[in-house]
Amino acid sequence: MAKKIFVAATGQNSGKTTTSLSLLHLARERYERIGFVKPIGPKPSSLDGLTMDKDAALVARVFGLERYKEYMSPVVVQQGMTKRFLDGEIGSDMLLEKILRAVEVLDRECDLLIIEGSGHCGVGSVLGMSNARIARMIDAPVLLVTGGGVGNVIDSVYMNLALFRQEKAEIRAIAANKIIPEKREETLRYLKKAFQGESFSVLGGFNYQPVLANPTLRRIAGILDLPIYGSRDADMRIVHHVQIGAAATQRIVELLQESTLLLVTSSRDELLVTVANLYQMPEYRSKIVGLVIPGKAPVSRITQQIIDRSGIPYMRTDNRSTTQIFLSITEDVSKITAEDTEKIGLIWELAEKRFIFDEVDALFS
């Protein structure tokens, strides 16, 4: 029988998957057989021809758990599934049976099983399967991942706690995540004060890390549905800043920050040539990730030759404005993929510093 940890959260994008990746990484030192399941998967993807949730597919690939893929994502929410459920075509008993069967198999095959919830604790209620209800039905104590503040964290914990208590699911610990580094000790001290009368422990998760929140160049290409031209060796570079090339060329160069993606319209020949030439200089290579070139006007022949010769990665579109592209990029929340080896390596490195696995392991014994 496996030790179970249900990783839930007070809200979407709190860091559940990052926490799951961390716990599984640390657990490998102690447990021979680790496992993972995402009972309700809201993000369909495919792994070896099998439809499963993106996070489950990610974990399967990163930790070599493909042999369990059939059980790692028992319920995948497909388009129209909610209406079919409300129309009575799908029953909660059928969904619960799939989840219980998957957990039963993994419980038998693994020494430690991480169960990852979806969104806040009430997600899945429309299917009769909230995170809180699933945690109780599979008898898994909960690690609740929160944000990194104080007041908003306390409020959101108690709001989520109400449903867990209604369902009689047990929260063993909360993990404050994305903490502002210089406020880490103060934040944890006040959270422990606020929850000192509760039965759960307060743990420190990750500090806020822009590198984990920001997208790779390949991710942005996927968002924009555009091919990357130029050097393909840089498509996994992480974009820390997105800058619109609207000012004078010299001013834009002065404003360049580390790992910047520049949006430069196709008519700005001088700026395009300057950036392409700077990309070839070692002192600027770390600052420039690449270009996105919108605009209906064609790029001039000589400018295009200079861009191509420089090897700078770039994307080209003639049917979207600079503003549309900027909003598409900045409104996206970057999710980790199996190809994000730099991010995953950093997560594991930080986990070894931030997570005291002995403490977590003892709390969930």
Report whether pLDDT(228) > 90. Answer: yes
Q: Give strand pairing partners of 314.
A: 229, 291
Report whether pLDDT(32) > 90. Answer: yes
Alpha-carbon torsion angle 343, 13, 44, 320, nearest 10: -80
pLDDT for 123 equals: 83
Q: How confident is the model at residue 334 (pLDDT cuts 50, 70, 90)?
A: low
- Domains of the chain, earliest start first: 3-209+336-363 (3.40.50.300), 215-330 (3.40.1390.20)
Q: How confident is the model at residue 87 (pLDDT cuts 50, 70, 90)?
A: confident
Report whether pLDDT(231) > 90. Answer: no
pLDDT for 199 equals: 93
pLDDT for 122 equals: 83
pLDDT for 148 equals: 83
Decide: 11 and 119 in contact? Cβ < 8 Å: yes
Closest CA to 347 of 359, 335, 363: 335
206-210, 213-217, 219-223, 241-245, range with the lowest pLDDT: 206-210
Report whether pLDDT(302) > 70. Answer: yes
Report whether pLDDT(102) > 90. Answer: yes
Q: Amino acid identity of 350?
A: L
Mean pLDDT of the region 318-333:
86
Report whether pLDDT(353) > 90. Answer: no
Report whether pLDDT(351) > 70. Answer: yes
Report whether pLDDT(11) > 80. Answer: yes
pLDDT for 120 equals: 80
Closest CA to 212 of 27, 60, 44, 345: 345
Percent of the chain scoring above 90 in pLDDT: 67
Closest CA to 312 of 292, 298, 340: 292
Q: What's this model's pTM, rounded to 2 decimal places? A: 0.79
Mean pLDDT of the region 237-249:
91
Q: How confident is the model at residue 107 (pLDDT cuts 50, 70, 90)?
A: very high
Burial 159-190, CB ≥16 within 10 A → b, else e: ebbebbeebebbbbbbbbbbbeeeebeebbeb
Q: Half-sphere exposure of 77 toward its Cβ, with a 13 Å CA cutoff?
A: 18
Model pLDDT for residues 118-128, shown as the tens digit of each residue: 878 788 888 88
Mean pLDDT of the region 221-245:
90
12-16, 74-78, 96-100, 303-307, range with the lowest pLDDT: 12-16
Whose structure tokens read 């390949």?
A: 218
Q: What does pLDDT average to over the chain?
A: 91
Q: How confident is the model at residue 221 (pLDDT cuts 50, 70, 90)?
A: very high
pLDDT for 333 equals: 66
pLDDT for 233 equals: 80
